[in-house]
Structure 1
């Protein structure tokens, strides 16, 4: 009988996260190079063949399909492994389930996009679902790593620390949800080919507030939303680092979120300034997508950890003792 240890589950979660990362990267390359229909309107075959003809576009599209398929297999394996060997860890089981669910959803939407043309709004939603799948895999990897390294006395000490405030918990959750909206707006910019709507950065066509019409309005609204996201993330990072010194994990997540958001801002500027240089533009655009994907994953995991820490403090203080058999939220 095969039995997986926590260390083996940890490495399985790492591999799942890596494959999901490559699938998201492949999807971004397909979008930015316009390779989505290089295999025609056929799926899963490419021009009627299992192995496509050697063209750059078809290889890009088919490689993305390959990694998407691998992401589905690894997410299924993770779901089964955590259900079989970590059933009491409902948080990890939840991450594994979300990864599998959204891999299936985004894979189905990708197949539909090949078979039948979709609107820009639907294609942006496809990117959003891919992001949720990747962030779920990231949370699974981070959560399993913490589970593997945890010790029993650490749980007790952590639960006795100063409780995380409800206001901070709400701010963390709101920032994570809002970041998803910003991602959707960015994907909408890409799928409507509005990248060139605003020339220059931080000004838009030499103006602080340009005429909000067509592609200019789409890009400008995305910039305003990104600015608000940076301010929210900066506030969140400040509170995590200076107001929660008892929780090194929250401090590290807060710093990571601020750094990722800051790099995201500069990568957005790089996208604007490389629009006329195809070779540099593709790298700037890919960095822009991967940074926001990582930021969203960090914010989601931080939201879950804040909720868990808040619940742990409630259990210790006697606010939630109705069922002592419920396992701790660690």
Structure 2
């Protein structure tokens, strides 16, 4: 049972990363409002593919909650009815959560697929929830963490609705991302706790402390990066999508902190790599950390010096989440090595 639990947890973690990637694709394509409502899309479970599906037409059956675009505004059907030859406003009411009334089939389906991946994530999470009770007598912590993870996933779903209702308010998008990292961390913890592999790393007190510092530094970098992204999103709203050269023309203090602090992050992780290699401590995942950091720096420089080339911003975000996950797992490895040393 524990082995099956671990496999499902790994599937869930992969899906969390896919959700982050899907969200990044939504961001880079500007598809965040492809579906103006939530959880449906223009009032449909399967999104429309042509604008004619969300326009008023005579002698057509409309269902309660379906949304159409009328004079650049969203109108919601208040009941089931069949339209007559003339448009009757009494059958409709304005959609008041936001005023974004644009239809782009590509944006709609990209956003819909993003939501679909999130729904699929819920399936293994529910299976984990059920399996965790079979492990309750053996390890209560697994059950408690699993239940809390599912609870946080529910909060994340509600936040997804709020993000849409607030027309992609940058602050809400940032909170959405931070909660995704929390879910990721809990799944990584569950994977590590249910793993039957014996530890192959050596305990080193200085390394554990440095690992913790590196993890906190990376988390701080992510938070600073989120603030920079909020500023960029604000600039996009003000200046437009095609004005990349001006998005960071007058950056905030958080940008300079984020850029300068990256030097410290590289230094700390380089020291980790040096100590791991010198004393043969066995933390092979440090190789991934250094590769991710290298590509992360390149993508960051590309955004600033090459005016946000295509996919550089979402790549930067996805790499940050990968770095977060690998470093967190390394901390768990170090703590396990410490416990193993005490039992000898």
TM-score normalized by the length of structure 1: 0.73
Post-superposition CA distance 1:266-309 (Å, at most 9, x none): 222233355365xxx12x22322221111100111111221222
1:188 counterpart residue number: 227
Question: What is the alpha-carbon distance in structure 1 between the residues aligned to residue 28 and residue 285 of structure 2?
Answer: 30
8 Å contact kept, 2:126–2:150: yes
Specify every segment of 5 or more residues in structure 2 that has no aligned partner in the other structure, as ranges: 50-104, 237-244
Which of 1 and 2 has greater Rg?
2
1:267 counterpart residue number: 299
Matched, 1:303 2:331: yes
1:240 counterpart residue number: 276
SS in structure 2 of the partner of residue 252 of structure 1 = coil
Query: Of 24, 29, 34, which residue of structure 2 is paired with 1:33?
Result: 29
8 Å contact kept, 1:125–1:184: no
Specify every segment of 5 or more residues in structure 1 that has no aligned partner in the other structure, as ranges: 198-204, 206-211, 317-330
Query: Of 46, 52, 65, which residue of structure 1 is paired with 2:115?
Result: 65
Q: What root-mean-square deviation, in Å, do the aligned CA atoms of Structure 1 and Structure 2 show? A: 3.1
Matched, 1:47 2:42: yes
Question: What is the alpha-carbon distance in structure 1 between the residues aligned to residue 295 and residue 308 of structure 2?
Answer: 21
8 Å contact kept, 1:35–1:58: yes
Matched, 1:291 2:286: no
Q: How many residues align?
A: 279
8 Å contact kept, 2:170–2:230: yes
Question: What is the alpha-carbon distance in structure 2 between the residues aligned to residue 136 and residue 292 of structure 1?
Answer: 17
TM-score normalized by the length of structure 2: 0.70
Which region of structure 1 is more displaced relative to structure 2, 83-92 or 106-115? 83-92
1:136 counterpart residue number: 186
Question: What is the alpha-carbon distance in structure 1 between the residues aligned to residue 153 and residue 22 of structure 2?
Answer: 14
Post-superposition CA distance 1:190-240 (Å, at most 9, x none): 23216999xxxxxxx9xxxxxx99525332221112222222222222223
Change beyond 3 A, Cα 1:194–1:118: closer
Question: What is the alpha-carbon distance in structure 1 between the residues aligned to residue 145 and residue 286 of structure 2?
Answer: 21
